[in-house]
Amino acid sequence: MKNPEDIVWDTITDSAKKRFDYDGFAAGYSEFDDGTMAENTLFQTIIGLAQEKKIEDIANELSTQFLLIGLGADKKELIEFVTDRSRDSTLEIKAAYQALVFYDRGAKTPGILVQVRSILNDWPKINEA
């Protein structure tokens, strides 16, 4: 059974996967892992942006994570990836920010999940405007 908090983060990450060619992105990792590296990279990017970290700092953190598992990463490509996600995953960043605030205030996961889903469901309305 999943940790309830994981459901919140998975909801945000799964939504972000629909904003760009995630399958193509994940295919670049296929020879190195079991499918979790691409997802973790996306999740760490969204959380970093939600925490209002600088793009370069997020890219450096990702690069360090890759180095710790024995992989090199082109920092320019990481900066580009984070920059692109800052543009196409704005609702996910907002949802992650709200989730972090709510968890910090002691809110319970079911209520946080309702708020996250509400934020993410605003996407079609924004794109119709």
**pLDDT value for 123:** 54
Q: Write down the mean pLDDT value for the chain.
A: 90
pLDDT digits (tens, 9 = 90+) for 44-101: 999 999 999 999 999 999 999 988 888 878 899 999 999 999 999 999 999 999 999 9
User: Residue 128: pLDDT band by 50, 70, 90 thresholds?
Assistant: very low
Rounded to two decimals, what is the model's pTM?
Answer: 0.88
pLDDT tens track for 37-50 = 899 999 999 999 99
- The pLDDT of residue 124 is 53
CB of 25 closer than 8 Å to CB of 38? yes
Q: Which pLDDT belongs to residue 126?
A: 46
